A = this chain, B = another copy of it.
């Protein structure tokens, strides 16, 4: 990747720009890309949508993606950003044990962005939503100097209690569903120039494709959230800021200590070796990605000892009494890598 300007994704054909269309015309291009979901009672086009909440409650979360903070236009297509926006929001819904139902999207888009970027965004959102039966039911468009994609996502608990972060108890098994470290590896490859966005384009099959695609379009185990709830998970959260940091949040909320086992994560490190080699780094980089890499959007959950884990989950540690205060250890010792990142301190 030698292009260092931020002038858009080469995979998107040049065409009409957002400023060439009225808001109504732009919406007319977007709406047909958003199939009706099973919970949609009234879709886009009115002051508000109406969504079914058969359980008499709904879960709701919001997450925002900001150009040059969470994505770069020269790396991420509109489709990629749509996938990420949907995944990071629906992972939060799944982490409560809920089944996703509906999204609304506020999009800030500069006038010189291609219409194809925006329709790509809609396709990315729809492609994540469709397999779980959810859809985009409404949105708002505004001009602005940088792209901002703010999503609110909703889900249904199907009569179950929500699985919060605070229910882990000493003796519980710590388990994880999804990939670990893949997105961080992909980001490092793009950042170094060892891989290009095309290496992670849909359908790309090279040795670095899993990592680059894993950064551009993370795949969250959305069905694993409700499965964990059914299996009796005592606590759960979406791993968005790194395994250590998010495990720390669960530990703090539950007032417990979480001990992660390196042996249980060794296979994750092995899976990252081609990326480590492409970057010429030492083997320690792989474990650092596994423990501290963000944006894989896996699910970290705790289960009562002896409870059968849902198929997507693998045990990665144990909940212990918080003798020295709530926190996370790795093989019984304080972790040696940083705890993740902060949105403002960078």
A positions within 8 Å CB-CB of B? 18-19, 21-23, 26, 41-42, 45-64, 66, 68-70, 91-93, 95-96, 98, 102, 104-108, 111, 137-146, 148, 150-155, 157, 162, 164-166, 236-238, 253, 342-346
Asked if A61 contacts B49 (CB within 8 A), the reply is yes
Is A48 a contact of B93 with CB atoms below 8 Å?
yes
Give the residue of B68, B95, B108, B152 whose beta carbon is less than 8 angstroms from that of A152. Answer: B152
Contact B66 A144 (CB under 8 A): yes
Bound together, the chains give a CA A52 to CA B165 distance in angstroms of 20
Per assembly, the copies of the chain total: 2
A106 to chain B, nearest CB (A): 4
Most central of A45, A108, A142, A152 by chain B CB within 10 Å: A152
Residues of B within 8 A of A96 (CB): 46-48, 50
* Chain B residues with CB under 8 A of A236: 47
Contacts of A139 in B (CB 8 A): 62
A48–B146 CB distance below 8 A: no
A154 to chain B, nearest CB (A): 7
- Shortest CB-to-CB span from A297 to chain B, Å, is 11
20 pairs of residues in contact across A and B, judged by CB atoms under 8 Å: A19-B345, A22-B345, A23-B343, A23-B344, A26-B344, A47-B91, A47-B93, A48-B61, A48-B153, A48-B162, A50-B162, A51-B59, A53-B57, A58-B154, A60-B102, A61-B138, A62-B150, A66-B108, A68-B145, A69-B143
